[in-house]
Amino acid sequence: MHDTWLPGAVTLLVLATQAWAGDPDLRLELECNVRTLRLGQEGTLRLRIVGPGIRRLTEDSEGISPKNSAGGAFVYELAFKPPREGDFTLGPYQLSFNDQKLTSNRVSLFVLPAWDGRYGTLFRTDSNSITLGESIEFVMETWTPTYEPKRCLLKRNEAFTFVPGETIMSSTVSDKSTWAYVRSVWFITPKKAGEFRITGDLFQSFPKGVKPPDITVVVKEPNPPTKPGNKEP
């Protein structure tokens, strides 16, 4: 399979930061473990109630000290299995927690066509154009007749930072066919504007027999802040 990326620039709003309703010490965060997935696959959505205000829930309980509390959250997790291809926007969601009304952010993701039945490995990104400071979702997908683990590791580099996403492995056995699927995800943040290339040079280790990716992402400078107009006296 050829290296590829999603056609067009897809704007994604995962883990967006915005003004939250309710108590500023509490907020409702909506997040998804992926920005793109294929028709027939599932993503995981998480609604989190987070913030220092959670400590006040137990401040009057004998034997519990807020100083010893670990960073945590109230988390509601649910599966998202899209019924069609294309763009999806989920949220905002609202709830009342401890007599406070909280409103979540929105999460947008893009659903690709289902697997076409051809074996091989391909690479893709969620967008071919981003703004400096944003991250790229870089995905490696492999379909094989039998399970063949292919380990890939990015190496540390001065040109970018990255956060590994979740690795998904599955297999199907039926009377008609047998196949295995592996998906690895990285969220890459380039450090400077210009063309950012994802090639085999970015990897510390790469599976034998797999053609390395060659994907170019345009990293744009952020727009300068708008200056307020001069007011008439």
Least reliable range by pLDDT among 3-17, 72-86, 100-114, 190-204? 3-17
Percent of the chain with pLDDT over 90: 62
What is the predicted pLDDT for the residue at 92?
97
* Residue 166: pLDDT over 70: yes
pLDDT of residue 13: 31
φ, ψ dihedrals at 200, nearest 5°: -65, -20
Average pLDDT over residues 99-112: 94
Place of tokens 């071919």: 128
Biggest CA–CA distance in the chain, Å, is 82
> Once rounded to an integer, what is the mean pLDDT over residues 191-216?
95
CATH number of 115-220: 2.60.40
* Cα separation of the two ends of the chain: 66
pLDDT score of 150 more than 80:
no
Q: Do domains 27-111 and 115-220 have the same CATH topology?
A: yes
Write down the pLDDT at residue 183.
Answer: 94
Q: Which amino acid is at 217?
A: V
pLDDT digits (tens, 9 = 90+) for 22-63: 446 889 999 999 999 999 999 999 999 988 777 777 777 888
Map out the domains of the chain as residue ranges. 27-111, 115-220
How far apart are alpha carbons 77 and 125 in whole angstroms?
25
Q: What is the DSSP letter of 145?
A: S
Average pLDDT, the chain: 84
Assign a CATH topology to domain 27-111.
Immunoglobulin-like (2.60.40)
Does the pLDDT value for residue 70 go beyond 80?
no
